Amino acid sequence: MKYDGSRPMTRGAKRTLTAFSNGMLLLLTKKPFEEITVGELCEGAQYPRATFYNYFDDKYDLLEYCWQTLAAQIGLSEYHHAPENEMLYLYFDRIYDFTRENRSTVSQILLHNPENGYMVSSFRSFLNGQMREIFQKCMDAAEKEIPKELLADHYSNTLFLVWQWSALKDASCTKEMGRTYLRMLLSKIG
């Protein structure tokens, strides 16, 4: 993102960034990410292309900003203060709760964006990055014989599958059941 996030954000910048990220999410509920154009994003946000390019390099950069915004909305930074052995489950809880609260929007986005498409792949990469941060904080990950990066990828993929199953595919699956599935699947590695 071109906008300097290290300095305080003005109201105008907040409004502009919100308009573009909301526009991206709205378009994702209607069509695959690959078919979305910068022109459509600008039209939906009601800003000229020049404004878009003042903030973002391209639509991929905007999608990355959407993931950062999602992380802030669901409070993923708060897992850093949790006990090491609970970080992953707090992370799952936050994603699960957000998905349930926004079920129709998330379902529409996934309906139009296939699992092998860029948007879902980008979300998986986002999860992997978050998982790597968890593992940097998690001391017992360093004690395992398996490399941290491999464990982070495995945990991230398992978390993604359990999240997808419990929050999207099986409406009767509670958060507690999802946590139990996650614990059972990950305990086989320990």
Q: Tell whether 5 is covered by a domain.
A: no
Rg (CA), the chain: 18
CB 55 within 8 A of CB 3: yes
Distance CA 115, CA 10 (A): 36
Cα 109 from chain centre: 13
Q: Tell whether 64 is covered by a domain.
A: no
Closest CA to 141 of 92, 106, 190: 190
Structure tokens at 116: 């092998």
- By residue range, what is the domain housing residue 101? 74-187
Distance CA 23, CA 83 (A): 37
The model's pTM: 0.85
Distance CA 151, CA 118 (A): 23
What is the CATH classification number for the domain harbouring 24?
A: 1.10.10.60
* Ranges in the chain, pLDDT < 70: 76-81, 84-85, 135-144, 188-190
Distance CA 33, CA 61 (A): 12
Q: How many domains does the chain have?
A: 2
Q: What is the pLDDT of residue 177?
A: 92
Domain co-membership, 162 together with 87: yes
Q: What is the pLDDT of residues 31-57, one digit of tens each?
A: 999 999 999 999 999 999 999 999 999
Domain co-membership, 86 together with 169: yes
